[in-house]
Amino acid sequence: MNMKKIAILAVLPLAGCVSIELPGLVSDAVKASKDLYKSAAGDKPEAPPARRVFAHSYIGSESQTVAEMKQACVKEAEQKLAQALGKEPRYTVVENEVVTWDGKVMATCKLALGE
Protein backbone atom coordinates (compact mmCIF):
# COMPACT_ATOMS: atom_id res chain seq x y z
CA MET A 1 0.00 0.00 0.00
CA ASN A 2 2.93 2.34 0.57
CA MET A 3 4.11 1.80 -3.04
CA LYS A 4 0.95 3.29 -4.52
CA LYS A 5 1.24 6.45 -2.46
CA ILE A 6 4.84 6.98 -3.45
CA ALA A 7 4.14 6.52 -7.18
CA ILE A 8 1.32 9.12 -7.10
CA LEU A 9 3.43 11.62 -5.21
CA ALA A 10 6.30 11.20 -7.67
CA VAL A 11 4.06 11.91 -10.72
CA LEU A 12 2.36 15.03 -9.33
CA PRO A 13 5.48 17.24 -9.24
CA LEU A 14 6.33 16.38 -12.87
CA ALA A 15 2.89 17.31 -14.21
CA GLY A 16 3.21 20.94 -13.15
CA CYS A 17 6.62 21.40 -14.76
CA VAL A 18 5.57 21.03 -18.41
CA SER A 19 4.49 24.21 -20.20
CA ILE A 20 4.10 24.75 -23.94
CA GLU A 21 3.95 28.24 -25.37
CA LEU A 22 2.92 28.92 -28.95
CA PRO A 23 2.73 32.69 -29.41
CA GLY A 24 0.42 33.86 -32.17
CA LEU A 25 -1.13 30.43 -32.74
CA VAL A 26 -4.67 31.50 -31.85
CA SER A 27 -4.57 34.75 -33.83
CA ASP A 28 -3.07 32.95 -36.84
CA ALA A 29 -5.76 30.26 -36.69
CA VAL A 30 -8.53 32.88 -36.52
CA LYS A 31 -7.06 34.82 -39.45
CA ALA A 32 -6.71 31.66 -41.53
CA SER A 33 -10.29 30.60 -40.85
CA LYS A 34 -11.62 34.07 -41.77
CA ASP A 35 -9.63 34.05 -45.02
CA LEU A 36 -10.92 30.57 -45.84
CA TYR A 37 -14.53 31.60 -45.17
CA LYS A 38 -14.22 34.75 -47.30
CA SER A 39 -12.71 32.83 -50.20
CA ALA A 40 -15.44 30.16 -50.05
CA ALA A 41 -18.36 32.53 -49.51
CA GLY A 42 -17.16 35.27 -51.85
CA ASP A 43 -18.10 38.88 -51.51
CA LYS A 44 -21.64 39.72 -50.49
CA PRO A 45 -23.74 41.02 -53.36
CA GLU A 46 -25.11 44.49 -52.83
CA ALA A 47 -28.67 44.59 -51.58
CA PRO A 48 -31.16 46.02 -54.06
CA PRO A 49 -32.43 49.48 -53.16
CA ALA A 50 -35.53 49.48 -51.01
CA ARG A 51 -38.77 50.16 -52.86
CA ARG A 52 -41.55 52.26 -51.51
CA VAL A 53 -44.75 50.23 -51.83
CA PHE A 54 -48.33 51.41 -51.32
CA ALA A 55 -50.88 48.73 -50.41
CA HIS A 56 -54.62 49.16 -50.92
CA SER A 57 -57.75 47.03 -50.52
CA TYR A 58 -61.00 47.37 -52.45
CA ILE A 59 -64.20 45.64 -51.36
CA GLY A 60 -66.08 44.59 -54.48
CA SER A 61 -69.68 43.70 -55.08
CA GLU A 62 -70.99 40.34 -56.24
CA SER A 63 -71.98 41.84 -59.58
CA GLN A 64 -68.37 42.79 -60.44
CA THR A 65 -66.01 40.50 -62.26
CA VAL A 66 -62.54 39.71 -60.94
CA ALA A 67 -60.94 41.93 -63.60
CA GLU A 68 -63.23 44.86 -62.66
CA MET A 69 -62.35 44.53 -58.97
CA LYS A 70 -58.61 44.42 -59.72
CA GLN A 71 -58.90 47.46 -61.98
CA ALA A 72 -60.94 49.36 -59.37
CA CYS A 73 -58.35 48.55 -56.68
CA VAL A 74 -55.49 49.94 -58.76
CA LYS A 75 -57.52 53.01 -59.76
CA GLU A 76 -58.42 53.84 -56.14
CA ALA A 77 -54.83 53.29 -55.02
CA GLU A 78 -53.60 55.60 -57.79
CA GLN A 79 -56.11 58.29 -56.73
CA LYS A 80 -55.02 58.07 -53.08
CA LEU A 81 -51.37 58.29 -54.06
CA ALA A 82 -52.02 61.31 -56.27
CA GLN A 83 -53.89 62.98 -53.41
CA ALA A 84 -51.08 62.24 -50.92
CA LEU A 85 -48.25 63.29 -53.26
CA GLY A 86 -50.01 66.24 -54.84
CA LYS A 87 -49.14 65.03 -58.34
CA GLU A 88 -49.70 62.10 -60.66
CA PRO A 89 -47.67 59.20 -59.29
CA ARG A 90 -45.38 57.00 -61.36
CA TYR A 91 -45.88 53.44 -60.21
CA THR A 92 -45.70 49.77 -61.11
CA VAL A 93 -48.32 47.25 -59.99
CA VAL A 94 -46.39 44.56 -58.10
CA GLU A 95 -49.33 42.63 -56.68
CA ASN A 96 -53.02 42.44 -57.55
CA GLU A 97 -55.17 39.66 -56.09
CA VAL A 98 -58.79 38.95 -55.32
CA VAL A 99 -59.58 37.12 -52.07
CA THR A 100 -62.68 36.24 -50.09
CA TRP A 101 -62.47 37.34 -46.48
CA ASP A 102 -65.24 37.20 -43.89
CA GLY A 103 -67.79 36.48 -46.62
CA LYS A 104 -66.80 39.52 -48.71
CA VAL A 105 -64.91 39.62 -51.99
CA MET A 106 -61.92 41.93 -51.76
CA ALA A 107 -59.19 42.98 -54.16
CA THR A 108 -55.79 43.79 -52.70
CA CYS A 109 -53.15 45.56 -54.72
CA LYS A 110 -49.66 46.92 -54.14
CA LEU A 111 -48.09 49.73 -56.15
CA ALA A 112 -44.34 50.32 -56.16
CA LEU A 113 -43.59 54.02 -56.47
CA GLY A 114 -41.24 55.12 -59.22
CA GLU A 115 -38.56 57.73 -58.77
Show the 3-state SS of the chain.
CHHHHHHHHHHHHHHCCCCCCCCCHHHHHHHHHHHHHHHHHCCCCCCCCCCCEEEEEEECCCCCCHHHHHHHHHHHHHHHHHHHHCCCCCEEEEEEEEEEECCEEEEEEEEEECC
Q: Could you report the per-residue pLDDT of 44-61, keeping only the tens digit for each?
A: 667 677 778 999 999 998
In a domain, 13, yes or no: no
pLDDT band at 7 (very low <50, low <70, confident <90, very high): very low
Residues of the domain holding 75:
53-113
In a domain, 41, yes or no: no
7-34: average pLDDT: 60
In a domain, 60, yes or no: yes
In a domain, 32, yes or no: no
In a domain, 24, yes or no: no
Domains in the chain: how many in total? 1
In a domain, 15, yes or no: no
In a domain, 103, yes or no: yes
Instruction: State the pLDDT at residue 38.
Output: 74
In a domain, 21, yes or no: no
By mean pLDDT, which of 50-54, 63-67, 70-74 is the weakest? 50-54
pTM of the model: 0.55
